[in-house]
Structures are given as C-alpha cells and as structure tokens.
Amino acid sequence: MDARDEQVPQLPTAEPLEPEYWKRRGLAEMSRAEWEALCDGCGKCCLEKIEDGYTGEISYTNVACRLLDVGTCRCTRYAERRRYVPNCEALTAETVLALTWLPSSCAYRLLAEGRDLPSWHHLVSGDPELVHRVGASVRGRAVPESRAGPLEHHIVTWSA
C-alpha cells in the first residue's frame, strides 16, 4: 500500500506549500502534502465506470462510489477506502498515465502529461470552491450508488 493512500486530503493543506511547486517538481518528487493538495476535489474519479469487454472503451456514469459524499465531493473514508471498496485504485506517480479512465481535467493526469493546472484549480485560484462553481466537479450531478439502479441508465459525458 502506498503511504499516500493513508492520508486524508484536506483543502487547504495544513503544511504550507511553495507557490507553483508543481511546476518545479515531478509527481514522484512531491511530498505527501504536495501530492494530496493536487486533488482538485472534483469527485469524477470516484464515479462508477463501465468498460466494454470487447473494445476496452470506458463509459463514464454519474453514479458515485458509496464512500463519496456527493455534497463535498470527498471520500468519507479516504484513509481506509480500500478496506470498503477493494477495487479503489491507489493513485501514484507511477500509475497516473496507466489509469486511462482518469478525467481529462485531473491535476495528476495533466501534470503527468506535461500540462499545467486549469485556472479554476484551487492551487492556482486560491479558492477550493471554484471547481464546483465552474461546473468542473460532480457536485449536484452525482447520484449515490444506493439510489442509482443499473449503471447503463446513468452514462454521461462530462464537459470538463
């Protein structure tokens, strides 16, 4: 288990962060606090996905993992999430690019691809609520899995 897996992300982080540290350090070089601070809190990675067994194509749904608080877009059991959801992926610097289902707006994916953070990201804007106000999160658009029914009825295309 990756040590990062045991940390609870909090915005803003308790550890002071250097301005624009993500421009000077690669993902593998970041401290635990820097790594966790990259999460924009969109909640998209915590939505159920459907993979076509023949083509490998991923369809995204608006159905939230049972541990995702759809109001805050944060995991309610982050430190022990894999105990409750065994297939929850531990995101690491080594696995980011291999996880092709990560949202195109994901900070980890963007940085791994050599791109910068979007203007609405809290590390750029200073505002952790901006991700929600610009519609880049699942807040108000996700359905708890306990109320969803068949995943096929919940396929969506996210704009950001």
For residue 97, give its domain range: 3-156
What pLDDT sits at residue 159?
64
What pLDDT sits at residue 149?
86
The pLDDT tens digits for 16-43 are 899 999 999 999 999 999 999 999 999 9
What's the total number of domains in the chain?
Answer: 1
Q: What is the mean pLDDT of residues 107-111?
A: 97
What pTM does this model have? 0.84
Q: What is the DSSP string of 71-108?
A: TTTEETTGGGHHHH-TT-----TTTTTT-TTS-TT-HH
Q: What is the mean pLDDT of residues 60-86?
A: 93
- In 3D space, the residue among 141, 138, 126 whose CA is nearest the CA of residue 12 turns out to be 126
DSSP code, position 56: -
